């Protein structure tokens, strides 16, 4: 071989067929996508979420209506968030564990109508506490980690008992995965999957979600328990500890800002790895598209591709409900 000949890597990219032939990464298949949804009380309710174009808070009947087009695009997994009435909130988020909570009712309704769905539920207190924190508080206002564990376990048991395939604890309390696993097993729910938000960062990119779920903390922030964006090794440890505690699926959240964490974990663990493409990562792309600064579906496709390339198996993303349009763009990225 003549080592002085100029290298021509672009040879492989000359035509669409050659690019596709030599691709090593494709968009996550629809079956690996999870659509996060917000539930509200009442029938025929569909409240568009201003901070998240294309998403709405849905009554249970409206959610069932939206599942049909989702399934026809091949997406068959949901992650449910309850947005309870403000009057149900209290100091310890008791309404979250009620058997007739919105989430439990939605799980039962979906289970009945759509046996082919995989239904996951978010397990946290922040939308149910009067102060908006993810757990019970100590007198000084700090989150009381150990007092929160049984509260989270009760929520998980209620959701699993209603028929959820999996629970997704997102409170970032130490020991929450073992507490939840023990409670599920103790209630004969040993088949319930735990998809742990194992490395969830204290991120400024949850803003649109907190608006949608009315879950912003009334005082302080979540940096005392959520992972720090400036500590990579601790972030990896958060996930490996959850694996030891019995998590079935690990998760990195946000996704696009933490592709390095996804890539590192992919090399280190064998468990399925999920990435949560959060509200801010979704809404900033909508904001660009609205201003005419980029094409919505192409930007979405490129983000899903990046998450996949980093090594995530499962992609939790608000893009899931327009998967077909994005996948069409993805073919040509």
Among 120, 206, 319, 323, binds ligand PBG (CB under 6 A): 206
Question: Measured from the CB atom, is 32 or 121 closer to ligand PBG?
Answer: 121
| DSSP conformational letter for 223 | T
Site for ligand PBG in 78-107 (CB under 6 A): none
Establish if 120 lies at the interface with ligand PBG (CB under 6 A).
no
Is 328 a known active-site residue? no
What residues between 211 and 270 interact with ligand PBG by CB under 6 A?
215, 222
Sign of CA dihedral 7, 9, 12, 13: negative
What is the phi/psi pair of residue 180, to 5°?
Answer: -70, -40
Q: Which of 279, 283, 317, 321 binds ligand PBG (CB under 6 A)?
A: 279
Whichever of 176 and 215 has its CB closer to ligand PBG, that residue is: 215
C-alpha 317/C-alpha 307 separation (Å) is: 11
CA dist., res. 22 & res. 55, Å (int):
35
Say which of 7, 89, 105, 253 is annotated catalytic: 253
Residue closest to ligand PBG (Cβ): 209
Exposure of 77 by Cβ count < 10 A (0-12 exposed, 13-18 middle, 19+ buried)?
A: buried
For residues 102 and 80, what is the distance between their CA atoms, to the nearest angstrom? Answer: 10
Number of residues located near ligand PBG, criterion CB under 6 A: 12
Backbone angles phi, psi at 242, to 5 degrees: -65, -35
Contact 58, 103 (CB under 8 A): no
Please give the full DSSP string across 271-307, using - where no structure is assigned. Answer: S-EEEEE-HHHHHHHHHHHHTTSS-HHHHHHHHHHHH
Note whether 275 binds ligand PBG by CB under 6 A.
no
Of 107-115, 118-126, 178-186, 262-270, which segment contacts ligand PBG by CB under 6 A?
A: 118-126
Instruction: Considering only residues 121 through 160, tell me which ones interact with ligand PBG, judged by CB under 6 A.
Output: 122, 124, 126, 134
- Gap between the Cα atoms of 29 and 75, Å rounded: 9
In this complex, which beta carbon is closest to ligand PBG, that of residue 276 or of residue 323? 276
* C-beta closer to ligand PBG: residue 104 or 134: 134
Check if 89 is active-site.
no
Site membership for ligand PBG, residue 34 (CB under 6 A): no
Q: Considering only 120-128, 156-164, 241-249, 264-272, which stretch makes contact with ligand PBG by CB under 6 A?
A: 120-128
What are the residue numbers of the active site? 200, 253
């Amino acid at each position: 071989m003549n080592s002085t000949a100029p290298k021509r890597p672009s040879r492989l990219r000359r035509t669409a067929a050659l690019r596709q032939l030599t691709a090593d990464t494709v968009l996550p298949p629809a079956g690996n996508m999870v659509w996060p949804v917000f539930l509200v009380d009442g029938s025929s309710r569909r409240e568009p979420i201003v901070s998240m174009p294309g998403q709405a808070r849905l009554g249970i009947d409206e959610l069932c209506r939206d599942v049909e087009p989702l399934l026809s695009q091949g997406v068959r997994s949901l992650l449910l968030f309850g947005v309870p009435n403000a009057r149900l909130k209290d100091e310890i988020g008791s309404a979250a564990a009620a058997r007739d909570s919105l989430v439990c009712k939605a799980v039962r309704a979906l289970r009945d109508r759509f046996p082919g769905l995989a239904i996951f539920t978010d397990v946290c207190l922040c939308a149910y506490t009067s102060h908006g924190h993810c757990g019970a508080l100590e007198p000084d206002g700090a989150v009381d980690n150990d007092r929160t564990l049984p509260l989270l376990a009760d929520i998980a048991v209620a959701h699993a008992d209603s028929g959820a395939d999996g629970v997704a604890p997102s409170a970032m309390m130490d020991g929450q995965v073992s507490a939840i696993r023990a409670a599920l097993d103790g209630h004969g729910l040993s088949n319930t999957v735990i998809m742990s938000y194992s490395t969830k960062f204290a991120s400024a990119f949850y803003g649109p979600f907190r608006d949608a779920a009315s879950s912003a903390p009334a005082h302080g922030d979540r940096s005392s328990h959520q992972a720090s964006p400036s500590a990579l090794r601790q972030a990896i440890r958060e996930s490996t500890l959850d694996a030891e505690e019995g998590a079935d699926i690990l998760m990195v959240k946000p996704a696009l800002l933490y592709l390095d964490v996804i890539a590192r974990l992919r090399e280190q663990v064998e468990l399925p790895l999920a990435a949560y493409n959060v509200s801010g990562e979704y809404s900033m792309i909508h904001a660009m598209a609205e201003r005419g600064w980029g094409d919505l579906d192409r930007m979405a496709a490129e983000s899903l591709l990046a998450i996949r390339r980093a090594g995530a198996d499962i992609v939790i993303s608000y893009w899931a409900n327009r998967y077909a349009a994005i996948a069409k763009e993805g073919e040509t990225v």
